[in-house]
A = this chain, B = another copy of it.
């Protein structure tokens, strides 16, 4: 036991659990990637397909997911369901003290802003404008996700996470506007 998995592995297990409530016979790697792109992407990672498959292999090796090979038509695929052991592993991770620490932010815009004096105010403002545009796009994507969840009680936690993200994007927009003004005024 005590198979220590990465957080991302746990996250994928989590997606498999959330899926389990509704659907058919588990998810394919491809479908799992889609789920990740709609959820994890905004606050964790958007794992590459290759990583999805290798994580699934690892989870299957440890018996935390069950893989069933299916061949519909001539197209082969593997569907993955979380196993009882997998569910136990996930529960135990969730119950464990939050030792995975404070959120980590990798913010290239902030980094470049720090060096603003090297490029001058116009370049900084242009960069910030670019970021504001990206924020609009990102917010739009997340808004779609939020809308999909509607007010279904079963997905209330996912909805909260989505709203958290939306607030975050709004807060970013505000502060960036303020910084832009300040750069405009004081160089």
Q: Which residues of A contact B (CB under 8 A)?
A: 7, 11, 14, 17-18, 39-40, 42-45, 90-91, 94-95, 98, 100-119, 123, 127, 130-131, 134, 138, 154, 156-158, 160-161, 163-165, 167-168, 171-172, 174-175, 179, 182-183, 186
Contact at B157–A117, with CB atoms within 8 Å? yes
Contact of A107 (CB < 8 Å), options: B39, B43, B156: B43
Q: Given the complex of chains A and B, what is the CA–CA distance between A112 and B43 in angstroms?
A: 11
Given contacts A111-B11, A112-B94, contact A105 B43 (CB under 8 A): yes
Question: Closest approach, in angstroms, between the C-beta of A175 and any C-beta of chain B?
Answer: 5
Q: Contact check, A119 vs B95: say whether CB atoms are below 8 A apart.
A: yes
Contact A39 B114 (CB under 8 A): yes
In the bound complex, CA of A42 to CA of B183 (Å): 21
Separation of A131 and B157 alpha carbons in the complex (Å): 17
* New contact pairs (6) apart from A45-B106, A167-B171, CB-CB < 8 Å: A42-B105, A95-B119, A102-B134, A103-B105, A105-B105, A168-B172
Whether A111 contacts B14 in the complex (CB less than 8 A), given A95-B119, A118-B91, comes out as yes
The answer to whether A161 touches B114 (Cβ under 8 A) is: yes
In the bound assembly, the distance between CA atoms of A123 and B154 in angstroms comes to: 18
Q: Pick the most buried of A105, A109, A123, A174: most chain B CB atoms within 10 A of its CB.
A: A105
List 25 interface pairs A-B (beta carbons < 8 Å), by A numbering.
A18-B115, A42-B105, A43-B107, A43-B110, A43-B111, A44-B110, A44-B111, A90-B115, A91-B119, A95-B123, A98-B130, A98-B131, A103-B107, A104-B105, A104-B106, A105-B106, A110-B161, A110-B165, A113-B157, A113-B160, A114-B158, A114-B161, A117-B157, A160-B179, A168-B175
